[in-house]
Amino acid sequence: MRWVFVITLILCVSYASEVSQIFDFWTNLFRPVPRNPKEGFVPDYTPKYLEQFDFIIIGAGSAGCVLANRLTEEHDWKVLLLEAGGNENFFSDVPIFAPFLSLTPLNWGYNSEPEQKACRDLRGNVCFMPRGKVLGGSSVLNFLIYQRGHPEDYNDWARMGNEGWSYSEILPYFKKSENIQINELKNSSYHGRGGYLDIDYASYSSPLQTAFKDAGEELGFEWNDPNGENVIGFSKPQATIRKGRRCSTSKAFLEPVRFRQNLKVSKYSTVLKILIDPYTKKAYGVDFFKGNKRRRVIARREVILSAGTIGSAQILMLSGVGPADHLSEMGIKTLADLPVGYNLQDHVTFSGNAFIVNDSKLCVNDLTAASPLAAAAYLAGRGPLTIPGGATGLAFARTSYAADLSEGRPDMELVMGAGSLAGDLLGILRSLLGVTDKWYWKVYGSLPPEVRQRTFSMNPVLIRPRSVGRLMLRSANFSDHPRIHPNYFHHPDDLRALREGVRLVEKVISTKAFQRFATRIHNVPFPGCEHYKFDSDDYWECAIMQTSITLDHQVGTCKMGPAGDRTAVVSPRLLVHGVQGLRIADASIIPRIPASHTLAPVVMIAEKAADLIKKDWARYPFY
């Protein structure tokens, strides 16, 4: 039963993605009704050899789709958008399927190098690092949660010398992109109406959500809008959802403008390098691969790199922009010696715990999600399949490691899942986390299937990590995935803070609100940690290193900072230091990771980047 289901799903998505390369048009038929009239199939365009464009955007991901839309608002700017992947499909639209998309060809399939203190035991200390390879990029693979972070996160960016990036200066861009659908937030001065990106709640709320709210109140937390005045508090997740379906940046920003004459989108186009004149240091074009042919296009004004934290850093280094010592090791001539690949930051979460309740109607696990009833509700935009990545509650709080942060700034997040790893009868979550069947049966096998279905999860997320990683090339060949060293828990406080997060979860679970369902933790110890006393501090530290996974919030490999900052790759106007005509706009420019999920910040960055570009070229209209 389990494998039949998993294999069928994988075949369906693979088929939809593969067919999309051969018969681009047909995959659109996988898209469901009713369709928003603004949505629709993005036509594929193959540029001619040496064809010229004003702007060439690399990567139609979360940021790239926003830029393509905003730059083509200028009618006389001819824009080319290059994307390695193809179209979204019916399955990637279903919010609760999010974890499963990482197993399909919509994922680039990057892995970390073996880690010392994370992802232990599961698969040779290697952490999966999914990234979207599709129009919409990682906004198609992600868990849909829309979260911006704390105002001081951005004031910190400004304090690092990044003029124009303080909270009051970037809030207008969050609002500009947003089309808030949540009634009680429509009048909030923190939210925008009439933007392209729909933000909504899942239309399904489980009784567990009420318990979560009550538990928060019992512990003295307010039930709030964490994108509003106060971040700390308990809340229902806001998500990039349109009528119960995923609202990727492609659906939001690209599809409504797909017929603009000055916008060309070339799909299945893998960029190999940016062409930079070695004497003038000006970026003038892009080499890419499409249909087994190497191709070249020319940029009259700018090349804009939006290939994401991994892609942008890799392409830059392959183009000769990066740390000189590392590039010469790889046999690449250095055109600009910049610290590309350093400053890699990410959020990890401890995701192995399951909490058992005494009523199966409270949780959403495989069997509920796979039922025909749920499928029927989904087609009407409702039901459990609309839960964003399975998350039904968010909480932001402070641990004792937040002492260096001003009041009101959180360093810990809790994400409550409607189901848990224990309820993963079909094996999808297991595959995402990299948990082996052996591990699963050892930990959860003692529970009858009926009990495994009435479990949920509550995962602490380390949102102010102190550890920093690095990304390097493996070779000068684009096909070789880069070497990624996230260094999770390298700083000992990170492990301790996350352990405090586990304790906070225990507090929430022991409230009256959760005890109404006789909620208890499943207390079989994780393999490799049996020698510690269950629930001791040492036990949790061991368990955290054993099963923590990334929330896929990698940022920072092309750090933004002012001229003179030797750790910076791009300026506060997002121009690559020492190179002309080359800008970066995506998660890679983030100097310090916000205490938040990263999609909303990336969309904001792209909105601001578009305005910076418009202003710069209005001032210098000749090229």
Ligand X SMILES: *[C@@H]1O[C@H](CO)[C@@H](O)[C@H](O)[C@H]1NC(C)=O
Ligand Y SMILES: Cc1cc2nc3c(=O)[nH]c(=O)nc-3n(C[C@H](O)[C@H](O)[C@H](O)COP(=O)(O)OP(=O)(O)OC[C@H]3O[C@@H](n4cnc5c(N)ncnc54)[C@H](O)[C@@H]3O)c2cc1C
Annotated binding-site ranges = 134, 271
Task: Pick what 145 binds: ligand Y, ligand X, none; C-beta below 5 to 8 Å, kind-dependent.
Answer: ligand Y
Rounded to the nearest whole angstrom, what is the least distance from the CB of residue 515 to ligand X in the complex?
Answer: 6
**Nearer of residues 186 and 615 to ligand X, judged by Cβ:** 186
Query: Between residues 142 and 487, which has the closer beta carbon with respect to ligand Y?
Result: 142
Percentages of the chain per state (helix, strand, coil), in multiples of 5: 35, 20, 45
Cα–Cα distance measured from residue 114 to residue 128, given in angstroms and rounded to the nearest whole number = 11
Only one of the segments 13-21, 43-51, 77-85, 319-327 lies at the binding site for ligand Y (rule: CB under 6 A); that segment is: 77-85
Task: Give how many residues touch ligand X by CB under 6 A.
Answer: 11
Tokens of 600: 């909303």
Q: Would you count residue 234 as binding ligand X (CB under 6 A)?
A: no
477 binds ligand X (CB under 6 A): yes
From candidates 9, 60, 364, 593, binder to ligand Y by CB under 6 A:
60
Instruction: Give the x-and-dash track for 181-210 against ligand X (CB under 6 A).
Output: --xx-xx-----------------------
At residue 479, what is the residue type? S
Q: Among residues 95 and 320, whose Cβ is nearest to ligand X?
A: 320
- Considering only 91, 100, 143, 489, the residue that binds ligand Y (CB under 6 A) is 143
Binding of ligand Y by 83 (CB under 6 A) = yes
Assess 518 for contact with ligand X (CB under 6 A): yes
Convert 570-591 to b/e letters by CB count within 10 Å (16 or more is b).
Answer: bbbbbbbbebebbbbbbbbbbb
Triad 483, 485, 491: Cα angle to 5°: 170
Annotated binding-site members for FAD: 134, 271
151/417 with CB nearer ligand Y:
417
In whole angstroms, how close is the CB of 145 to ligand Y at the nearest point?
3
Residues 388-417 binding ligand Y (CB under 6 A) are 389
Query: In b/e form, how buried is each residue of 385-416, taking b as 16+ CB within 10 angstroms?
Result: bbbbbbbbbbbbbbbebbeebeeebbbbbbbb
**Applying CB under 6 A, which of residues 56, 122, 141, 505 lies at the interface with ligand Y?**
141
d(CA 314, CA 557): 10
What type of residue is 220? Answer: G
CA angle 422, 426, 432 (to 5 degrees): 75
**Cβ-based neighbour number of residue 621 at 10 Å:** 6
Catalytic residue among 150, 191, 522, 597: 597
Instruction: State which residue, 451 or 555, has the beta carbon closest to ligand X.
Output: 451
The three-state secondary structure class of 371 is: coil
Residue 358 binding: pick among ligand Y, ligand X, none (C-beta 5-8 Å cut-off by kind) = ligand X
- Choosing among ligand X, ligand Y, none, which partner's interface includes residue 183 (Cβ < 5 to 8 Å by kind)? ligand X
Which of 231/542 has CB closer to ligand Y?
231
Which string of x and - marks every residue 415-454 that binds ligand Y (by CB under 6 A)?
Answer: ----------------------------------------
143 contact, one of ligand Y, ligand X, none, CB 5-8 Å limit per kind: ligand Y
Q: Cα(519)–Cα(509) distance, rounded to whole angstroms?
A: 7
Work out whether 517 is an interface residue with ligand X (CB under 6 A): yes
Asked about 597 being catalytic, the answer comes back as: yes
Quick check: 607 binds ligand Y (CB under 6 A)?
no
Which of ligand X, ligand Y, none does residue 587 bind to, with CB < 5 to 8 Å depending on kind? ligand Y
Enclosing H/E stretch for 280: none
β-strand pairing of 391-397 with 233-235: antiparallel
Judged on CB neighbours under 10 Å (0-12, 13-18, 19+), 125 is middle
Asked if 359 touches ligand X (CB under 6 A), the answer is: yes
Q: Which does 502 bind (CB under 5 to 8 A by kind): ligand Y, ligand X, none?
A: none
CA separation, residue 540 to residues 9, 103, 459, 499, 529 (Å): 35, 29, 13, 6, 9
Q: Which is nearer to ligand X, 184 or 325 (CB)?
A: 184
Please say whether the dihedral angle defined by the alpha carbons of residues 602, 413, 520 and 219, taken in this order, is positive or negative: negative
The pair of three-digit structure tokens given for residue 362, joined into one six-digit string? 């409270």
553 is catalytic: yes
477, interface contact from ligand X, ligand Y, none, CB < 5-8 Å by kind: ligand X
Q: C-beta of 618: minimal distance to ligand X in Å?
A: 36
Q: Where do runs of H (alpha helix) occur along 286-389? A: 308-318, 324-329, 366-369, 372-379
Stretch touching ligand X by CB under 6 A, among 91-99, 331-339, 345-353, 512-520: 512-520
63 scored as a contact of ligand Y (CB under 6 A): yes
From ligand Y, ligand X, none, which one binds at residue 602 (CB under 5 to 8 Å depending on kind)?
A: ligand Y
Spatial separation of the C-alpha atoms in residues 388 and 78, rounded to whole Å: 36
CB of 481 to ligand X, least distance (A): 10
Two tokens at 272? 């190999």
CA-to-CA distance for 177 and 408, rounded, in angstroms? 26
Which distant-in-sequence residues (6+ apart) come within 8 Å of 427 by Cβ? 2, 3, 6, 437
Distance, CA of 232 to CA of 409 (rounded, Å): 7
301 sits near ligand Y (criterion: CB under 6 A): no
Q: What is the closest distance, in whole angstroms, from the C-beta atom of residue 588 to ligand Y in the complex?
A: 6
Q: Which of 87, 112, 138, 548: binder of ligand Y (CB under 6 A)?
A: 138
Closer to ligand X by Cβ: residue 155 or 188: 188
Alpha helices for 77-218 (secondary structure H): 98-101, 138-141, 151-159, 167-177, 207-218
> Which entry of ligand Y, ligand X, none binds 302, CB below 5 to 8 A by partner kind?
none
Residue 585 Cβ vs ligand Y, minimum distance, rounded to whole Å: 8
Candidate residues 119, 356, 560, 602; the one interacting with ligand Y per rule CB under 6 A: 602
Contacts of 110 (CB under 8 A, 6+ apart): 128, 129, 130, 131, 310, 481, 482, 484
**CA 596, chain centre distance (Å):** 11
Residue of 47, 130, 151, 383 that binds ligand Y (CB under 6 A): 130
Q: How do beta strands 293-305 and 582-584 pair?
A: parallel
Residues engaged in binding ligand Y (CB under 6 A): 58-64, 82-85, 102, 130-133, 137-139, 141-145, 147, 269-271, 306-309, 311, 315, 389, 552-553, 586-587, 597-600, 602
Residues engaged in binding ligand X (CB under 6 A): 183-184, 186-187, 358-359, 477, 479, 516-518
Residues marked active site are found at 553, 597
